[in-house]
Amino acid sequence: MSKKRTLDPQMIDSVAQNMFHALPLIKKRLLHMDMIQREHGTPLSHVQVLAMLQDAGTMSVSEISRRLGIAKPNITPLVDRLYEAGYVDRQHDENDRRVVNIVLLPAGSQKLTAIRATISRQIQTQAEDLSVSEFRELHDALESVVRILSSL
């Protein structure tokens, strides 16, 4: 049985405030999604689905919906666009034909590799303004954020 603990309300407020500050900064200073979308013609939501599929191998539409926090009816057109682009395929689940699994195709993997290379170049450019210790701190902080949020 887990014990309920009381968290410092000021720390909770600080985390909330930092989230509001961090997300736009990450998008503006590191990702430059507008440039990625112009260069690759791929919105962030599509990139996220391709990355999730690369990590998971295959996912149902419901699982994609749950992980992105987007309603299932809104995921279907997104998957349709990825399918039409030749990046993903649909496969019916062997055990339950009602379940449609989405799989990453080689073209989707190649697209994701190209996008990741663009992101790496952007980060390289931004990192030139940071010291080695600041870049290490950023690396470690992002790893911590991903690890902690993935466990929620």
Q: Tens-of-pLDDT digits for all 152 residues of the chain?
A: 456 678 888 888 888 888 888 888 887 777 777 888 888 988 888 999 999 999 998 999 889 998 888 888 889 999 999 999 999 999 988 888 888 899 999 999 999 999 999 989 888 988 888 899 999 999 999 999 889 888 87
- Residue (of 74, 70, 108) closest to 90 by Cα position: 108
Question: CA angle at residue 87 from 82 to 93, to 5 degrees?
Answer: 85
Question: How many C-beta atoms lie closer than 10 Å to residue 87's C-beta?
Answer: 24
Contact between 100 and 91 under an 8 Å Cβ cutoff? The reply is yes
- pTM (two decimals): 0.77
Distance CA 13, CA 18 (A): 9
Distance CA 142, CA 38 (A): 26
